[in-house]
Structure 1
Amino acid sequence: MKTKISSWLTTSAFICLLIIHGLSPWLHGAELAWEHVLTTILITVGLFLLILGKPTFFSETKTLQSPLFFLLLWLLYLSIYLIPIPMEFLTGLSPQSAEFYQFNADTDYGYLSLSPATSAVEWFELSSLVLLFLLTYVLLKRPNRLSKLVYCLIIVATATAVYSLVNHYTGGQYELSKAIPPWDSNWNNAIRGTFSYKNQYAIYLSMVIPLALGLAYDNLKKRKRSWRNNRLSLTLIYIICSRIFIFLWLALLLFFVLTKTDSRGGNLVFMLIMGAVSLRYLCRQQQKVKKQKALLSLLGIFTLLGLIFVNSASFERFEKYGIQDSPRAKLHKVALNVIADFPLFGSGPGTYPLIQHVYKPETLGNTEMSKRAHSDYLETLATQGVIGLLLFSIAILLMLKRILLGNSSTQPGLLMGCQASLIMLLLHSSFDYNVATFYLSALFFTLLAIGLRLVEPNKSRSRSNA
């Protein structure tokens, strides 16, 4: 009886996880407050059910002691922004914060954050990402759940891509998820998908495409031995009728939609990282014949992708503007000015849009786009200071080290896809703002959990029903 209840609770937790990834992309990437609250509720409910269903929950995270320690230490550090501090101590810790509170009110206490309420909301958002990571990591101990989750990610992205193409060619007649003002790009000119900002939808697609390609590679590798004695025509028929062909077509569809987003950054990051991963794969091939076959295959794939890209709106924008973007450089400078005033502790999590106008020249205006640093790293440094960025970076780098240096004997293609997806978001975040869309961060932490499970020894990934 206990086993059945435990299995039911664990299954229910996994359903919550699938709902999160099935629903959030359609809700602007969980950008609005109520969308984020709904996603957080699903994460909390899922984690609660999982803890009830798995008494061994906490023991199963022992292999992640080091990164989890720094993640929890980071969250504990962020909670300090919510605690009132005597003004004499605050002056020593953050002179600019002390000056702000002394100027606005005659008080003996102040906060490291210039807006404790805003930082509290940000703390809950960041905490929910850590909870999502724990929920995903423990659930994916069973390999079949891992496969189902990846299928879910690809199917949902494909559904948004089809939806996008329909609206692109009909001028938005079937629009279900309207953009959040002030984003109002014309469907005929650029595809923004179910998100509000086309660049964020572009990086979302970029992160899912390698997963589909990875599954195609793994299926090809599994079936390759059984095809050795078959004729070429018979082998091609098998491929066309298999999952390999399906995953390749889905990846091609997603890439086609990506090129129509008119996002230079999303397309450039995708091509660069896929090229780097492909080059790494070639270098790892020991046999000359295998290396030549791999090279020919990759040349064929990139030639096809190149032909699609040069006939897209994104390429036209590259031709017109190149990679120059002077407004972003000016916005980065604004962030650096904030960092200069709040170097150690920052201005408080989530407060950047509230204070950037003080440091920004009038020529940049006051649009929603100009309120962000257009670099998640600079914005994090400006709001959380050196200490916050360092704690978070150590935790992420410890996990990335395992994923990038690890191997998977069962799903090497999917592992390469995870590696590519993670690096894509990290690179894209250096010149755009992705943290504003909660689901992009959620997808990143989900892929971290998937990657960590893939590099674990097979014996540690139980196939039991627990």
Structure 2
Amino acid sequence: MTSQHRISAVCQTVIQCVLVGIVLLSPWPFGSVNPDGEFGLTLALSIALLAFVVRLVFGEPPQWKAGRMGLIVVLGLIGLVSVAALHQIALPASLVNTLAPGVQPWSAPIGLLDQASSLPAEGSGLERWEAGNKLGLYAHGSYQFLLRVVAAGCLFAMTCCFDSPRLVLRRISVAATVVGVALAIFGIAQHVGSHDGLVYWTYKMQGGLGFGPFINRNHYPFYLNLCLGLAIGLLLDSMKDMGRHWPRMILSDRSATWLLLAITFMIASLIMCVSRGGILTACIAVAVVGLRRFEFKHATRSISMFIMIGTPVLLFLIWAGFSVYESRLTMLSESDSYASDGRWVLWRAAVASVPEFPWFGSGGETYRHWEKIYVPADENWTTEGRVALRADNELLDVLNEYGLAGFVSLLLVAIPVCWVAYRTCRRDALSAGAAIGVFAVSLHSIVDFGLRLPATGAFAVIVAALLCSQPAAAGAMERSRQSRRRRSSAADPKPLAEVEEGAWLGPHFGFACRLAIALLVCGIAIYTIRFKRRYWLAESHHRTAMHELEGSMPNAAIKSMSAAVKVTPEDMFRRIELIRTCILTDDWYDWGKENPKMGPFITAQCEEIIRMCPIAWEPYVWIARYPPAGMSMDAQLELVLYGRVMHPGDPKLAFVAGNILHQISGLEAAIPHWKQSMDFSNRYVAPIVNAVGREDLSEEVLMAIFPDDPKTCFAGAVECKQHGWEEPFQFLAEQCLRQLSVDGFTGREFGAGEKDQLRSEALWLLGQKEDAVEALLMALNEVPDQRKWRTQAVRWMIETGDLEQATWQLRIGSNLFPEDSTLRKLQQELSGLKAEASSKSN
């Protein structure tokens, strides 16, 4: 063994250890989605790349094992990098208008800041991140994407150069099985032991949608399906030598038994995470690979394996108390469920901006803004409490942010990998397992997003690279290459070594090429570490600021957030967090009174944000709230109205715009904005009704301001009754009942029994108490275990004097909720009333 061979072997061992470590550790810090996890993943990848550099320079020259399909994948990654790089280049205005017609119109709002400073400070480093003269609207978002794709490309190329890719795939499969079981057990334990809003039983996630260590239940299947596929591949590989004696050998083989147990836990956790897309795509992937490998002589084995895995999964779910009928999985059987699902709204928003940015997209991290701009006028959809960072479709997400060029490049990455998976899954068991993971993740990417998570993205790249490098995948290209070499040798009888050396370029060309690649990879690794380290430091400052806010130290919190912005000045979202901290401390502690420079400070930060990304809506509103000296009321109104254009679905912003217009132009100008506010939320019904009530509460005004929504009309009726406005109260309550009585009159979606319950409330408010009780009983017939409605029915029956019926409803409620203290108090009250009635009758 030569020294070069030993160096290559050591370097490949180091790289394998790093890849195994990435698979085992990267999902635990929330999928490495936070800066801490991503920085750790970057460090691990850089160690592997530096080992690859040592192999390039001092070891034996690595061989490309992924064939033509792997080269096409690399070409697609280069295309994505090129599109993101174009977003960093300032171009002539005529060329920008030709390639991206939407840049100039959406950058025009920068002109609204004429009363403020016109340019960032010289040498601040922010000039290169400004929008307006580039093809995208947020250069920094594209730059982050560029670095991630470059890292993915380096990881793919490095993984495609292992001397024994099948051995590496086996080791990665073992690591994936271990981490898959650990994730499954952890996810099940956390799901059973606490509600889904907590991660690690400690960290509360917005929306309560987490599962396992992932912050969203739809992220979990992306990683787990890769683990599940590789585990199935190991099981198939262990069974291939058993032959017809497999029934006797499978349970006596220790590794096969443990693999069956691991697969059982993974499938059970996949079902319990209730990700519809994750479950469907896993089933489709298994079916595709199963049909591809199907042979009639092995049909009995396939059916037996299905029963051996499915039965313990079913028993485990029953033991854990999981009910499919009470979960989101019931929507799989409803044909029109996806018609009202939010994905259609997200997908429409992703496509809406494409005509304005057709070729190269609007830039990285801009989809979240388009989703707000193109919000539908639907009372069931409000962006006030929704945060959609992605389009729930990886293809549309790339189409939106990187245009047709990025879309085609992504297809060049996905299609060759899926084609290789389809070709190789029949010949090799390990490749079949990897193909299951690749198919599941690829299909799931059409209805969810998960590959943008660093942990899942790195794992998917490793699996795809190893799959492309398997002998079955690269065999055709290798045979073609050998055939060309034989023909070349027959035509020119030079020694093969001389031909490989490329004598016409000199004997050192190969080494010079490897050295150049090594220097490039080394530079990428070092630069990426330095870049990601800044975001890791900024995140540590952010955490410090949050702790200081909890400790009632507003000045210290703002200093910490300012330090985070100073570390990463190009990060728009960090500046937004700084401004929110300033506003929060101003509301809580009157920080602005102690620090009169807060207004100019917030305005300056907002101006920088608008110049970096002019379609962010918050800065316009904040400048209007903290206007620079000399800014007129009309200018503030213009900023607020433009903020409404950027975020038409925010009810608070619509309410504020209505208030300003009410002060400047009167009631008629404010009504459209107040109506839109109530279209999306009932939160501002009370102040709107109060403002209108001081001027005009005629039926014409009420018809103009209240949407065709029974819940909003009922809220308005309650407010009018509290103020003693009898005619508006009667009109709105009757309007609520009319809207409820006509099927399809309103687009609002009602759950089981909700319509009858709302009707009962309106009837009770109008004094029609017997009808109200009857309507509430109809609601309880649909949802008998609704505790609040049951208690309300008992109260109403006591008030109307129907003690017999109240006793009956109380008995039902006590059987359903034996420990309810409110029902026990009602029981005592009812007993006293019955005793009093009995004494009077006697």
Q: TM-score range by the shorter chain?
A: 0.7 to 0.9
Aligned equivalent of 1:117, options 133, 140, 148: 140
The 1:108/1:416 distance shift into structure 2, 3 A limit, reads closer
Aligned equivalent of 1:300, options 307, 310, 333: 307
- Residue pair 2:96, 2:135 contacting (<8 A) in 1 also: yes
- Residue pair 2:62, 2:162 contacting (<8 A) in 1 also: no
Shift of residue 94 of structure 1? 0.5
CA RMSD of superposed structures (Å): 3.1
Shift of residue 73 of structure 1? 3.2
**Residue 454 (structure 2) pairs with residue 438 (structure 1):** yes
Shift of residue 33 of structure 1? 2.4
The 1:308/1:54 distance shift into structure 2, 3 A limit, reads farther
Between the aligned partners of 1:43 and 1:57, the Cα distance in structure 2 is: 21
Between the aligned partners of 2:175 and 2:48, the Cα distance in structure 1 is: 17
Within 5 Å, which residues of 2 pair with 1:27-106?
Answer: 27-55=29-57, 59-60=63-64, 63=67, 64-104=70-110
Aligned equivalent of 1:401, options 391, 395, 419: 419
What do the CA deviations read for 1:165-198 (whole angstroms, capped 9, x no partner)?
333343379964855742534xxxxx70111101
Aligned equivalent of 2:346, options 331, 339, 342: 331
Shift of residue 247 of structure 1? 0.9
Query: Counterpart of 1:413 in structure 2: which amino acid?
Result: A
Between the aligned partners of 1:448 and 1:165, the Cα distance in structure 2 is: 28
Shift of residue 142 of structure 1? 4.5
Shift of residue 27 of structure 1? 1.2
Q: Which runs of 5+ in 1 are unaligned?
A: 186-190, 461-466
SS in 1 for 2:155: helix
| Alignment correspondent of 2:252 | 240
Aligned equivalent of 1:317, options 312, 327, 334: 327
Query: Counterpart of 2:468 in structure 1: which amino acid?
Result: L
Query: Counterpart of 1:137 in structure 2: which amino acid?
Result: C
The 1:314/1:80 distance shift into structure 2, 3 A limit, reads farther
Q: TM-score, normalised by structure 1?
A: 0.84
Query: Counterpart of 2:182 in structure 1: which amino acid?
Result: A
Aligned equivalent of 2:393, options 368, 375, 391: 375
- Residue pair 1:337, 1:359 contacting (<8 A) in 2 also: yes
Tell which deviates more after alignment, 201-210 or 152-161: 201-210
| Alignment correspondent of 1:464 | none
Q: TM-score, normalised by structure 2?
A: 0.48
Shift of residue 37 of structure 1? 2.5
Tell which deviates more after alignment, 360-369 or 348-357: 360-369
Between the aligned partners of 2:330 and 2:425, the Cα distance in structure 1 is: 42
| Alignment correspondent of 2:376 | 361
If asked which structure has higher relative contact order (CA below 8 Å, sep 6+), I would say: 1
Within 5 Å, which residues of 2 pair with 1:412-431?
Answer: 412-431=428-447
Shift of residue 254 of structure 1? 0.7
| Alignment correspondent of 2:173 | 150
Aligned equivalent of 1:159, options 171, 182, 187: 182
SS in 2 for 1:350: coil
Between the aligned partners of 1:167 and 1:62, the Cα distance in structure 2 is: 40
Q: Which has the larger radius of gyration?
A: 2
**Residue 36 (structure 2) pairs with residue 12 (structure 1):** no
Query: Counterpart of 1:372 in structure 2: which amino acid?
Result: R
What do the CA deviations read for 1:356-403 (whole angstroms, capped 9, x no partner)?
322223633144543431111111111111111102212331232223
SS in 2 for 1:26: coil
- Residue pair 1:256, 1:308 contacting (<8 A) in 2 also: no
**Residue 38 (structure 2) pairs with residue 22 (structure 1):** no
SS in 1 for 2:102: helix
- Residue pair 1:210, 1:418 contacting (<8 A) in 2 also: yes
SS in 2 for 1:128: helix
- Residue pair 1:90, 1:112 contacting (<8 A) in 2 also: yes
- Residue pair 1:29, 1:195 contacting (<8 A) in 2 also: yes
Tell which deviates more after alignment, 22-31 or 259-268: 259-268
Query: Counterpart of 2:238 in structure 1: which amino acid?
Result: N
Between the aligned partners of 1:135 and 1:265, the Cα distance in structure 2 is: 31
Between the aligned partners of 2:299 and 2:13, the Cα distance in structure 1 is: 45
| Alignment correspondent of 2:465 | 449
Identity %: 19
Query: Counterpart of 2:255 in structure 1: which amino acid?
Result: R
| Alignment correspondent of 2:357 | 342
| Alignment correspondent of 1:188 | none
Tell which deviates more after alignment, 102-111 or 392-401: 102-111
The 1:195/1:102 distance shift into structure 2, 3 A limit, reads same
Aligned equivalent of 1:271, options 273, 283, 286: 283
What do the CA deviations read for 1:273-296 (whole angstroms, capped 9, x no partner)?
2233323332xx2xx4x1442453
SS in 2 for 1:139: coil
Aligned equivalent of 2:272, options 251, 260, 277: 260
SS in 2 for 1:153: helix
Within 5 Å, which residues of 2 pair with 1:189-208?
Answer: 192-208=211-227
Shift of residue 85 of structure 1? 1.1
The 1:320/1:87 distance shift into structure 2, 3 A limit, reads same
Tell which deviates more after alignment, 39-48 or 315-324: 315-324
- Residue pair 1:140, 1:450 contacting (<8 A) in 2 also: no
Query: Counterpart of 1:347 in structure 2: which amino acid?
Result: S
Query: Counterpart of 1:266 in structure 2: which amino acid?
Result: G
- Residue pair 1:380, 1:389 contacting (<8 A) in 2 also: yes
- Residue pair 2:346, 2:371 contacting (<8 A) in 1 also: no
SS in 1 for 2:353: helix
